[in-house]
Amino acid sequence: MKRAKTEELKTFFESLSDKYDLRVPVKLHDGTRVLGSLSEGEFAIEGGKIPQKPTSVFFPQFDEMFVVTDGDVAMAKPPAKPIMVVGMTAEDLDCLEFIDKFFAENFRDNIYYNKRDGSVVVGVSGRCGKDGEFMKIAGGKCDIELISDGECFIVHPYTDKGEGLVEKLQADECGCGGVHMEALRKESDALPKEDEETVDKASELIRQGKVTDEFWDEIATRCIACTSCNLACPTCTCFEVYDRERDGKMVRQRIWDSCQLDGFMREASGHNPSGKQLQRTRRRIHHKLAADVERWGHRTCMLCGRCDEVCPTEIGIKSVCREIVKRFS
């Protein structure tokens, strides 16, 4: 396997920007790390997960569905160039795997798959987290994984597409006979699993009906309905639909929705099945840890940590799960 320095990776991605719509981690002038093009900021592959919802690359906040002109409907077309997204963590890749499944279940969502088909996904892991923290190795679920050993990145392709691209990377072969990778895998396997255990235990308690409405009411009084948790969550897939007029044409767009808003489930009759904050807060957690377990066979919180980081009142999913386990075990 090849072992590349950060600068070599930057040159490699730059060389692919003609062929791909490149979204790499870049640092903006205010220090924020986002997924963008190399012309938008300094290449910033190190530093941990990107704060923004990484699945927004394929499921953006605003997305055009179709345009109607004089009664003729033109569906949204695939992007001019396939998307290449770089910098997804192991947890982000779990989230992407889920929303791939979500948008293909029963009805294949072409608006999503227009962007996802033909795309290239590059994961990042190892000793390149925030402040050098070790990030779990995904071991798949992407075309290429960049695994940092603290100095360089071991470049691990997992698909034919990934292999074809890595052949073009100008970097030395690692030459260690797999010793480096073995050591990094062991380090990854030894990462603490407390969050996983806590969230799984909370999921079990919720499904057993042990978590009371009084608890949800108490948590709900702290929610200010800012919607940040939904906007940051890579597995939140709810959207609403708007029709707008543009240059004499009707444009239908979909826009992310939030289950924390009063109007989320309000019906045309005025009836609102989630009219109280208690119901909305309970739903946010129950959906990912109980309803989805029944529907998909697994929870749909992949422990990325974003909702805990953005919630101004500290009721992200991990915080709430810790409280559930403490009170109801």
| Sites of contact with ligand SF4 (CB under 6 A) | 95, 223-229, 232-235, 260, 288, 301-307, 310-313, 315-317
Give the H/E segment covering residue 291: none
- Cβ 96 to ligand SF4 shortest distance, Å: 11
Nearer to ligand SF4, 208 or 313 (CB): 313
- Cβ 155 to ligand SF4 shortest distance, Å: 27
Single out the residue of 310, 317, 280, 306 nearest to residue 200, CA to CA: 317
Nearer to ligand SF4, 170 or 221 (CB): 221
- Cβ 289 to ligand SF4 shortest distance, Å: 9
- Cβ 287 to ligand SF4 shortest distance, Å: 9
- Cβ 284 to ligand SF4 shortest distance, Å: 7
- Identity of residue 158: Y
The β-bridge partners of 23 are 85
Which two structure tokens, joined as six digits, stand for 162? 């990934």
Nearer to ligand SF4, 57 or 304 (CB): 304
- Identity of residue 98: F
Single out the residue of 242, 240, 246 nearest to residue 69, CA to CA: 246
Nearer to ligand SF4, 96 or 317 (CB): 317
Which two structure tokens, joined as six digits, stand for 254? 């979909």
Residue 227 near residue 261 (C-beta atoms within 8 A): yes
Backbone angles phi, psi at 132, to 5 degrees: 80, 5
What gap in Å lies between CA 44 and CA 28, rounded to an integer? 10
Nearer to ligand SF4, 116 or 282 (CB): 282
- Cβ 52 to ligand SF4 shortest distance, Å: 11
Nearer to ligand SF4, 26 or 93 (CB): 93
Single out the residue of 159, 92, 162 nearest to residue 124, CA to CA: 92
